[in-house]
């Protein structure tokens, strides 16, 4: 492949992976969950964690407001009212919807590039907070009474849109390192875990996948998983892939060369994923209410593979 083609592929990927600038200049290497064990998910421990997180977030919201960062302050004020499993002012947060202490299934939403605390709620269902809320609402419709908890997870700092990092797996490696202990602790607590991974977040899930105790890994709007096939992921999980008919990600070259790109398209037959119907939507539409993709992702989260349409 000629170098100008490689450069063009990199530029295309960099131009397409997100829409907002990163909010924090410093990179956080892992979510602040030291010593995480299954005991962290008892009702008592979770209540204490949520209360402690709220106090720190309220302080940082005031600081952001005083500094004139109204977008961040608004996001933090919303975050303060939620069940926050972890939070760091360097740009990390995890929000729980549902009762994590008693959940038999947990779905973790892993977002893509340019997701920040400032945009955690501001982009509707394309935001971690909005997407998790849509998934939880759909689950209540499809299976009332299901013991499902949803985690909107920003446990790493995704790369910025206009950066070379968006075409490499370096930041995804940081994300995978942060994601694995959370999943392992949830599984030891007794929950069945599904990873729902969007865009650059699918690279995170691909790197975290080997021998991870999850039942399902669903990728949507994926540039690739830094893997050549499902077999190379070294997982016993059901691996799903979906792409909306209007998603521009299909135009990103599925190559890997000199550390750039993420390899085979998970939608390709040779990759070996279970393809689910994702409708005609675009790159930010997968969790929109009423969409085929939201319904199928919710069935995957609920552990109902037979109900997923292709």
Name the 3-class secondary structure at 105: strand
Task: Look at residue 246 and tell me if it is in a domain.
Answer: yes
Report which of 216, 3, 252, 232 is spatially closest to residue 112, judged by C-alpha positions: 252
Radius of gyration from C-alpha coordinates of the chain: 18
CATH number of domain containing 268 = 3.40.50.1820
Is 234 a member of any domain? yes
Residue 78 resides in a domain: no
Residue 46 lies in a domain: no
What stretch of H or E contains 110? Answer: strand 105-110
Residue 226 placed within a domain? yes
Q: Which residue has the tokens 């977040």?
A: 201
Determine the pLDDT at residue 39. Answer: 84
> In the prediction, which pLDDT does 11 show?
36
- Angle at the Cα of 126 (from 19 to 41), degrees rounded to 5? 125
Angle, alpha carbons 239-151-233 (nearest 5°): 25
In a domain, residue 128? The reply is yes
Return the SS3 of 14.
helix
Give the distance from CA 131 to its chain's centroid. Answer: 10
Confidence (pLDDT) at 10: 37
What per-residue confidence (pLDDT) applies to 161?
Answer: 67
CA 251 remoteness from chain centre: 22
Cα 208-211-214 angle, rounded to 5 deg = 75
Q: Tell me, yes or no, whether 80 lies in a domain.
A: no
Whole-number Å distance between alpha carbons of 290 and 181: 34
167 DSSP assignment: G
What pLDDT was estimated at residue 205?
98
Has residue 70 been placed in a domain? no
Instruction: Output the pLDDT for position 263.
Output: 83
**Confidence (pLDDT) at 116:** 94
**Count of structural domains within the chain:** 1
pTM for the model stands at 0.88
Mean pLDDT for all residues in the chain:
87
Supply the range of the domain harboring residue 278. 3-16+86-307
The residues of the chain scoring below 50 in pLDDT are 1-31
| 268-294: b (≥16 Cβ within 10 Å) or e | eeebbbbbbebbebbbbbbbbeebbbb
DSSP string covering 284-305: T-TT-TT-HHHHHHHHHHHT-G
């Amino acid at each position: 492949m000629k170098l100008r083609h490689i450069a063009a592929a990199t530029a295309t990927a960099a131009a397409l992976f997100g829409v907002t600038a990163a909010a924090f200049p410093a990179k956080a290497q892992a979510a602040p969950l030291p010593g995480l064990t299954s005991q962290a998910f008892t009702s008592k421990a979770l209540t204490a964690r949520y209360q402690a997180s709220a106090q720190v977030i309220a302080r940082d919201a005031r600081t952001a407001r005083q500094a004139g960062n109204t977008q961040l302050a608004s996001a933090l004020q919303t975050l303060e009212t939620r069940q926050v499993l972890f939070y760091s002012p360097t740009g990390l947060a995890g929000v729980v919807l549902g009762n994590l202490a008693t959940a038999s299934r947990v779905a973790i939403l892993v977002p893509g590039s340019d997701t920040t605390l400032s945009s955690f709620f501001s982009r509707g269902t394309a935001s971690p907070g909005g997407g998790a809320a849509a998934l939880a609402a759909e689950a209540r419709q499809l299976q009332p009474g299901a013991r499902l908890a949803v985690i909107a997870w920003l446990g790493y700092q995704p790369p910025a849109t206009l950066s070379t990092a968006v075409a490499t797996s370096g930041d995804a490696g940081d994300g995978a390192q942060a994601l694995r202990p959370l999943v392992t602790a949830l599984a030891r607590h007794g929950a069945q875990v599904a990873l729902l991974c969007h865009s650059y977040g699918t690279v995170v899930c691909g790197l975290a996948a080997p021998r991870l105790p999850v039942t399902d890994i669903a990728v949507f709007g994926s540039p690739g998983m830094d893997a050549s096939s499902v077999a190379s992921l070294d997982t016993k999980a059901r691996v799903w892939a979906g792409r909306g008919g209007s998603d521009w990600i299909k135009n990103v070259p599925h190559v890997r060369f000199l550390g750039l790109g993420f390899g085979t398209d998970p939608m390709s037959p040779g990759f070996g994923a279970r393809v689910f119907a994702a409708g005609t939507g675009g790159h930010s539409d997968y969790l929109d209410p009423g969409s085929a993709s939201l319904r199928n992702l919710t069935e995957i989260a609920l552990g109902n593979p037979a109900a997923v349409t292709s």
